[in-house]
Amino acid sequence: MWVITGGAGFIGSALLAKLNEEGLDDLLVVDRLESSEKWKNLRARKFADYMEADEFLMHLAAGKFPKLQGIVHLGACSSTTEANATFLIHNNYEYTKTLATWALQKNRPFIYASSAATYGDGAFGYRTDDKTTLQLKPLNMYGYSKHLFDLWALRKGVQKKMVGIKFFNIYGPNEYHKGEMRSVVAKAFEQIKFQGKIKLFKSYKSEYRDGEQRRDFLYVKDAVDVVWDFMQSRSGGGLYNLGAGRARSWNDLAKAVFAALEKPSRVEYIDMPEALRANYQYHTQADMKWRESNKKAKPFRSLEEGVKDYVQNYLSKEDPYL
């Protein structure tokens, strides 16, 4: 039995869909459902049991899971605007350390979600080597809480005994419960539906025209394919970027959404809130050399292909869930 923490969340539930497609349902889903609607992400999924995150930790400490095959730890508070540092340390850092320590002691696979937010403004590049990791300065507390565990694993000398995945800008179905943290694709779809246009932030750097700020976008179906590959392998531990390996502009994304809806582009550039300007990333791009060298790796969908599938086969449907 594999444990999938954050299994009711965005990437977690997409991973469950992938595992079900592969014929796996002996899965323990761990999450914190609380009052959100992410429970809807589980309705079509098959799994052995569900458990709340704190309860799972108590049972794990009591030795009640002797036959666990491994842990995929995707559960975390992913809000980049969360200001409660104590909460983030407990939820994102300490919890991850506890699971990692158990997996190391039991010699079980441990795959965990880091984040591209650990890279801060990108001043030190987007590489996962040890030297770069030690230099990074995240711009928000969420990124720092993720970075702290990467540092812990590195300093303990155990990073190569687990797999850490630095997710970049992942978008796709089952992100609906995330509110303001949903992808711009989901927000753009709603804006077009109700206003007929997409609103993008103006640029405050002369080298970037409005809407030409760039991100590394990756469709969630491609992201979970990679996680599944890691689950099948007991070798190749370390810290890995997971993005498309190509930076695309917000204007590109807007055009892709309009194209998927077969509508002419209409973009309005709006002022960026003052609170965001100092910490805004103008360019992110995952260094994906680790995967590009693998000739057997399945090609990722282009931004246009991923957006088209998301818009036409999910966002436009009455039931938009995987």
Q: How many CB atoms lie within 10 A of CB 206?
A: 6
Query: Of these residues, 40, 97, 178, 308, which one is catalytic?
Result: 178
Can you read off the two tokens belonging to residue 229?
């590959």
Residue type, 99: L
Residues 119, 142, 171, 314: which is the catalytic one? Answer: 142
Q: Which two tokens stand for residue 132?
A: 């770069």
- Residue 178: which of 27, 30, 9 has the closest Cα? 9
Tokens read off for 312: 């036409």
CB 43 within 8 A of CB 16: no
The answer to whether residue 178 is catalytic is yes
Q: Are strands 163-167 and 238-242 parallel, antiparallel or unpaired?
A: parallel
* Contact present, 114 and 149 (Cβ < 8 Å): yes
Nearest alpha-carbon partner for 160 in 134, 202, 128, 183: 128
Tell me if residue 310 is catalytic.
no
What amino acid positions are annotated as catalytic residues?
142, 178
